[in-house]
Structure 1
């Protein structure tokens, strides 16, 4: 059996030696990449052999090899689907179980394991807001993946409920813990002011958002709100960290409307940016445990977020919640926070308390190990 209470690091793990777990993450993301990196490190420390199936870019960003995992790199370019399946088949050959993160990874795992007895664990991190044909197809794909999985781990209670509605045999809540950012006990004011100066927010408030620049992440409402913030004196600067297919379209709108917004591209210094910001803003339509919300509360950055189920469950009362997609409510909530240092200070303190009660990385690894233990026993 695999010990769920083994020490996180150091020593000789008493159990787990010889178990081979394949983690499929693909291109990763702001939440899935750090989670799989953390999970791989914890599993390896407990004696589990881990293979992470990821794109070369995800390996560079998240350092799965540095966490002690073997990495099977997915191909990019033309003919990628056929070669992707070949890489997956080779990676999963002889494994004890396969753990897919995200719906696309789940579909790939299902295809590879169709004629094998290897158990599939599926972690459901997030759901998108789909339209048109995709909205009609997605429930079919979701149903197929969850029914093919021995166990579904949902990052929030509504994802667990969704998995059960789709026919999951076994669906459980599994909050995703990522490494807590290293925030100094005494913030470095010089570093804070330097970061603000580099962004162009020396004499004006700084707002920070971080999300992929994709259609379902609320950037339209965010720019609508930024248009309203132009009337404030001084108008705050909104800095958005992230990359995606909508970057060019968003930049055109920023330029055409002369919005006080800067697109920062992908950043790996989110904790430092949060320490410099006056308010963090999360306008995405739906994410179970968005990285920005977790890091904002850890850092003590006042947060305004869309009141969707996953986020509301995560932050409790330690953030200002507004209806998703409501630019007026978003603009008003941020404006009121900027006008009230006392409220910002209270939210910062509440956020740190809320974050202190979240599951740790060790808690997450322990739960996953317990799941693997069940499946390993069932196969004996």
Structure 2
């Protein structure tokens, strides 16, 4: 594993000593919603492990809950709904959101967390400002999980982000590529950046019973929300090319989203076998059934889907975007984004060479076991929180 240019801890002994003096009592996480998604999953893992370590954890949800809410409540973590609206802009929505913002400030004053860790764009844009309105010293951490340059933000919004970053104590990126994007696009100083990779629970490395997929063809699995940024139309195109070359396969799409109808029509027009199985809490059975796992994203932070495929020892073909090369360098097949020809060639290469597929899968699993351990992810967050708390209290 290459050294990270934005370390999560400057000195382990110093951080441990600081931790003794700056006890971490209470942490609040802020996020837009708790639907199925990689960021939501990582928040749940981190929140649960902090709770098991004796830290009081609260999760603050801007607009709506979702499947992960029950997961949090089952381990004794309180989930607070703030009531922000997602409707089209208008006076009623503005009033509702102003009331929700006041509710957030009041909740922070009541809870008085040591750390507010806000996830995703809307979370850290709202959370950093609310924390300063709360009027007591607390550490504000922003979690960056994707690339800003891909989203082509308007100039005024980028300027606003830079203002918010100035009142944020630290930015945690989940990949070196994400941290570098925050530094170059948003102008976040390197001293305010750390990289902490996502973590995987031990269960991700355990064997699973393969899901039943009734087909005699090789099975290509993709776990992703059905959104345009995931590039699934290029995977369907690649499946069509493979079929025309006499190498047909069954594509299993595990996920749900607004692109489903368009993808179904595309698959029907091309005459390829694409199975839409919907969103699933557990995907291990589909990974176990896969001959190849594919992620054709146009943009990524650090993909949980790729990580889980690696832990399962499956060979992966993925686009070389965001943090994916950090995961798959010499351990998978990387192809350019938006290129169905390269995607088809990558899939065919693994299907035609089982020994190569097996060796890449084994290498990916071994690397994931060393570098994507959940305890390491939690330890690095705790050390960072302690260091920031000590700095805040010393100042």
Q: Which residue of 2 aligns with 1:65?
A: 73
Q: Which residue of 2 aligns with 1:336?
A: 349
Q: Distance between the aligned counterparts of 2:70 and 2:239, measured in 1?
A: 32
**Higher normalized contact order (CA 8 Å, seq sep 6+, divided by chain length):** 2
Q: Which runs of 5+ in 1 are unaligned?
A: 7-12
Q: Distance between the aligned counterparts of 1:101 and 1:131, measured in 2?
A: 17
In the TM superposition, residue 173 of structure 1 has moved relative to its aligned partner by 1.3
In the TM superposition, residue 376 of structure 1 has moved relative to its aligned partner by 2.3
Q: Distance between the aligned counterparts of 1:206 and 1:364, measured in 2?
A: 32
In the TM superposition, residue 62 of structure 1 has moved relative to its aligned partner by 6.3
Provide, for residues 271-325 of structure 1, a one-character-per-residue CA deviation record: whole Å limited to 9, x for no partner.
Answer: 1100001000011022121111101111111100111241001222110111111
Matched, 1:24 2:30: yes
Q: Which residue of 1 aligns with 2:90?
A: none
Q: Which of 28, 36, 42 is equivalent to 2:43?
A: 36
Matched, 1:356 2:378: no
- Range with bigger deviation, 171-180 or 203-212: 171-180
Q: Which residue of 1 aligns with 2:107?
A: 91
Matched, 1:263 2:276: yes
Go from structure 1 to structure 2 and tell me whether the alpha carbon gap of 1:305 and 1:183 turns closer, same or farther (over 3 Å shift): same
Q: What SS does structure 2 have at the residue aligned with 1:162?
A: helix
Q: What SS does structure 2 have at the residue aligned with 1:126?
A: coil
In the TM superposition, residue 4 of structure 1 has moved relative to its aligned partner by 7.4
Q: Distance between the aligned counterparts of 2:350 and 2:298, measured in 1?
A: 21
- Range with bigger deviation, 229-238 or 209-218: 229-238
Q: What SS does structure 1 have at the residue aligned with 2:138?
A: coil
Q: Is the 8 A contact 2:144 2:174 kept in 1?
A: yes
In the TM superposition, residue 367 of structure 1 has moved relative to its aligned partner by 1.4
Matched, 1:314 2:327: yes
In the TM superposition, residue 161 of structure 1 has moved relative to its aligned partner by 2.1
Go from structure 1 to structure 2 and tell me whether the alpha carbon gap of 1:184 and 1:113 turns closer, same or farther (over 3 Å shift): closer
Q: Which of 33, 53, 59 is equivalent to 1:52?
A: 59
Matched, 1:157 2:169: no
Q: Which residue of 2 aligns with 1:345?
A: 358
Q: What SS does structure 2 have at the residue aligned with 1:121?
A: strand
In the TM superposition, residue 45 of structure 1 has moved relative to its aligned partner by 2.1
Q: What SS does structure 2 have at the residue aligned with 1:261?
A: strand
Q: Distance between the aligned counterparts of 1:245 and 1:74, measured in 2?
A: 26
Q: Which of 92, 108, 128 is equivalent to 1:110?
A: 128
Q: Distance between the aligned counterparts of 1:129 and 1:236, measured in 2?
A: 34
Q: Is the 8 A contact 2:24 2:386 kept in 1?
A: no
Provide, for residues 50-88 of structure 1, a one-character-per-residue CA deviation record: whole Å limited to 9, x for no partner.
Answer: 111135533546611223321112436754634542442
In the TM superposition, residue 121 of structure 1 has moved relative to its aligned partner by 0.3
Q: Which residue of 1 aligns with 2:10?
A: none
Q: Which residue of 2 aligns with 1:174?
A: 196
Q: Which residue of 2 aligns with 1:10?
A: none
Q: What SS does structure 1 have at the residue aligned with 2:72?
A: coil
In the TM superposition, residue 254 of structure 1 has moved relative to its aligned partner by 2.4
Aligned length: 362
> RMSD of the alignment, in Å?
2.8
Go from structure 1 to structure 2 and tell me whether the alpha carbon gap of 1:18 and 1:302 turns closer, same or farther (over 3 Å shift): closer
Q: Which residue of 1 aligns with 2:139?
A: 119
1:150-229 correspondence to structure 2 within 5 Å: 150-165=169-184, 166-169=186-189, 170-185=192-207, 191-192=209-210, 195-197=212-214, 201=215, 203-229=216-242
Q: Distance between the aligned counterparts of 1:340 and 1:18, measured in 2?
A: 51
Q: Is the 8 A contact 1:121 1:149 kept in 2?
A: yes
Q: Is the 8 A contact 1:16 1:46 kept in 2?
A: no
In the TM superposition, residue 264 of structure 1 has moved relative to its aligned partner by 1.9
Q: Is the 8 A contact 2:146 2:322 kept in 1?
A: no
Q: Which residue of 2 aligns with 1:9?
A: none
In the TM superposition, residue 183 of structure 1 has moved relative to its aligned partner by 4.8
Q: What SS does structure 2 have at the residue aligned with 1:72?
A: strand
Go from structure 1 to structure 2 and tell me whether the alpha carbon gap of 1:17 and 1:131 turns closer, same or farther (over 3 Å shift): closer
1:5-16 correspondence to structure 2 within 5 Å: none
Q: Which of 257, 260, 266 is equivalent to 1:247?
A: 260
Provide, for residues 114-161 of structure 1, a one-character-per-residue CA deviation record: whole Å limited to 9, x for no partner.
Answer: 4334331011111266567x4545533542343231011111112222
Q: Distance between the aligned counterparts of 1:105 and 1:130, measured in 2?
A: 19
Q: What SS does structure 1 have at the residue aligned with 2:276?
A: strand
Q: What SS does structure 2 have at the residue aligned with 1:95?
A: coil
Q: What SS does structure 2 have at the residue aligned with 1:113?
A: helix
Q: Distance between the aligned counterparts of 2:234 and 2:301, measured in 1?
A: 19
Return the TM-score normalized by structure 2.
0.82
Q: Which runs of 5+ in 2 are unaligned?
A: 1-13, 88-92
